Amino acid sequence: MNILRIIEQLSEVDADVLGRFDSRRAVFKSLGNTAKMGALAAAPVFVSSLFSKAYGQTTTPSVVEVLNYALTLELLEEDFYKKMTAAGRVPAGAAAGAIATILKHETAHVKLLSDTIRALNGTPVTNVKFKTSAFPADYPTQLVVAQALEDTGVRAYKGQAGNLLGKMAGTTSLLQVALQIHSVEARHAAHIRGMRMQPAWIPASDSNLPAPLGPVYTGAIREDNVIQSNVNITSQLGTPYSANDAAASFDEILTMAEVLDASRAGGLVQG
Amino acid sequence: MSNIKQNASEEAEFAKPLYTPIKRRSFFMYAGATAGATALLLSGCDDDDNEIVTPNGTVNLGSGDVGVLNYAYALEQLEAAFYAQVKATPAADFSTLEKDYFSQVAAHEAIHRDFFKAAINRDAPGQIIPGLTPIFTSIDFTKRASVLATAKTFEDLGVAAYNGAGKYLKTPAYLVIAGQIVSVEARHAAYVRDLISPGSFADDSIIDANGLDKAMEPVDVVTAAQSFIKEKLDASRVGK
């Protein structure tokens, strides 16, 4: 996990990033030497709690912070698909066409989010790259990572919807724009899943997959969750439904801290 | 409520929503502190509503958050009825895998419908719209192409409807639920589109130059869906 890189990038757009952590001194102390940095990077639980304290439910992130978080994920996706295209393993025809379509959308999202952040007098995050050492050489594994990125994106946008409620840029509802990106990510995820002979939606069993996909479908609320708004979908709707249908009929959120964790997108950012 | 002085029992009755429904309280757990307070607004926002079904048979979806929930419930009723028919009388030219997948889609939509029914009855008693009567005479359920074309219309419309309605919700917990559902609708839309034309999951007919999916206003969505529903729907006050 490139926790230092992430903190560094956040500090470019959020001068107070370290101030958000419990104690500035304590953080610097734990980042005191390279060996300790390595140890920290290997401790996702600590990192996760660090971020949930800094950006978690106790403090509401600003609109620009939310948009920069979204932009970070879009930049990561954009760079991944550029690398995938450049690697030359995508079969010509339908597969190459689909990857080109998805890349086009990610590039458009990067531009739209960057422009919006600037319009709000913020500074868009830049230079987020997909970690070279994590880029798979073979096409099937590239698709696995693409699925991980897209389904992470769906969960990540969903997790920020509440933070954009009522937020505007001029006369534009930022929540609506985020939702309009969110459903595009879901369409991408569905297609990539289809390229892998998977159902377009997320079956309950995906929450038990090994890494790198498993962590994408777990977290505080797993994708195999069958309880929505305190209603058990399998048993409390009059008609019984299977656990798989109950899980697949609702996608779930990931928090910012969960997405930035080393086991998920946070571990795919180039340091 | 003009009578300022209340006796103890009246007071207890008035305070009831604050603490009785523990279920409702935990419902708002995800959304943070402000959501619980917003829930109270919900029970109060029917004051200026008209009847749900007017004398001429128009179904009024209502206003505020309940209006948005009823709007979603109406669309999910339509989708659920459609896929129930697809599942019951599958087109002969569907593959085995397609039949299996459409059975799953039918379950997702039935769950969405039943979930909204339960949530509205729990959170806004007496304000739910009735069951609607679908009109599917334009659909040939024996033909895969006819079923897929209708499915594409419904799924793309559903995505645009949720995308456009999110901003009208005041309760964060409902917004999260809507977000949890819309991405599943978008998955359905992509699947159906790819069945009709491989690679059309997010083509330029539905995604604009900014990389954005469609978002439609409730009145426009209802206009588009009205030919499939017998009862006339009034969405003019949804979210207002």
Q: Residues of chain B whose pLDDT is less than 70?
A: 1-50
CATH superfamily name and code, A3-203+253-268: Ferritin, core subunit, four-helix bundle (1.20.1260.10)
- The whole-angstrom separation of Cα A9 and Cα A4 is 8
**Residues of B (3-62) whose Cβ lies below 8 Å from A:** 23-24, 26-27, 30-32
Mutation choice for B interface testing from A78, A185, A187 by most B CBs within 10 A: A187
Distance CA(B217)–CA(A7), nearest Å, equals: 40
Confidence of residue A58 (pLDDT cuts 50, 70, 90): low
Residue B240 lies in a domain: no
* Residue B224 near chain A (CB below 8 Å): no
Contact B211 A158 (CB under 8 A): no
Mean pLDDT of A214-229: 98
Instruction: For residue B52, give the nearest of B157, B110, B125 by alpha carbon.
Output: B125
In a domain, B1, yes or no: no
For residue A169, the 8-state DSSP code is: E
Contacts for A33 with CB less than 8 Å, ≥ 6 apart: none
**Sign of the four-CA dihedral A167, A169, A172, A177:** negative
Q: Test B176 with A161 for CB contact under 8 angstroms.
A: yes
Q: What's the rounded Cα separation, in Å, for the pair B133 and B229?
A: 6
pLDDT of residue A8: 53
Q: What is the mean pLDDT of chain A?
A: 86
- Reported as half-sphere exposure (CB side, CA atoms, 13 A), residue A137 has a value of 0
- Comparing CB atoms, the residue among A108, A245, A251 nearest residue B104 is A245
Contact check, Cβ <8 Å, B107/A242: yes
pLDDT at B51: 85
Does B97 fall in a domain?
A: yes
What is the percent of chain A where pLDDT is above 90? 77
Q: How does residue A9 score in pLDDT terms, banded at 50, 70 and 90?
A: low
Number of domains making up chain B: 1
Complex ipTM value:
0.83
**B62 CB-side CA count, 13 A:** 27
Which residues partner with B53 through β-bridges?
B59
Q: According to the model, what pLDDT value does residue A6 have? A: 53
- Interchain pair B211, A105: CB under 8 A: yes
Nearest CA in chain B to A99: B199
Buried b (16+ CB within 10 A) or exposed e, B183-214: bbbbbbbbbbbbbeeebbbbeeebbeebbbbb
Nearest to B182 among A102, A179, A253 (CB): A179
A39 vs chain B: nearest CA distance in angstroms? 32
CB A252 within 8 A of CB A155: yes
The answer to whether position B131 is within a domain reads yes
Within a domain: B239: no
HEC profile of chain B: CCCCCCCHHHHHHHHHHHHCCHHHHHHCCCCCHHHHHHHHHHHHCCCCCCCCECCCCCEECCCHHHHHHHHHHHHHHHHHHHHHHHHHCCCCCCCHHHHHHHHHHHHHHHHHHHHHHHHHHHHCCCCCCCCCCECCCCCCCCCHHHHHHHHHHHHHHHHHHHHHHHHHCCCHHHHHHHHHHHHHHHHHHHHHHHHHCCCCCCCCCCCCCCCCCCCCCHHHHHHHHHHHECCCEECCCECC
A19, pLDDT greater than 60: no
- The tokens describing B121, both together, are 């009855």
Long-range contact set of residues A116-119: C-beta below 8 Å, sequence gap at least 24: A116/A67, A116/A169, A116/A174, A116/A177, A117/A64, A117/A67, A117/A68, A117/A71, A119/A169, A119/A170
CB contact under 8 A, A105 and B32: no
Residues in chain A closer than 8 A to B27 (CB atoms): 229-230
Per-residue model confidence as pLDDT tens digits over B136-162: 999 999 999 999 999 999 999 999 999
Query: B73 to chain A nearest CA, in Å?
Result: 14
Q: Which residue has the tokens 């590039």?
A: A107
A154 pLDDT above the threshold of 80: yes
Nearest chain B CA: its distance from A247 CA (Å): 9
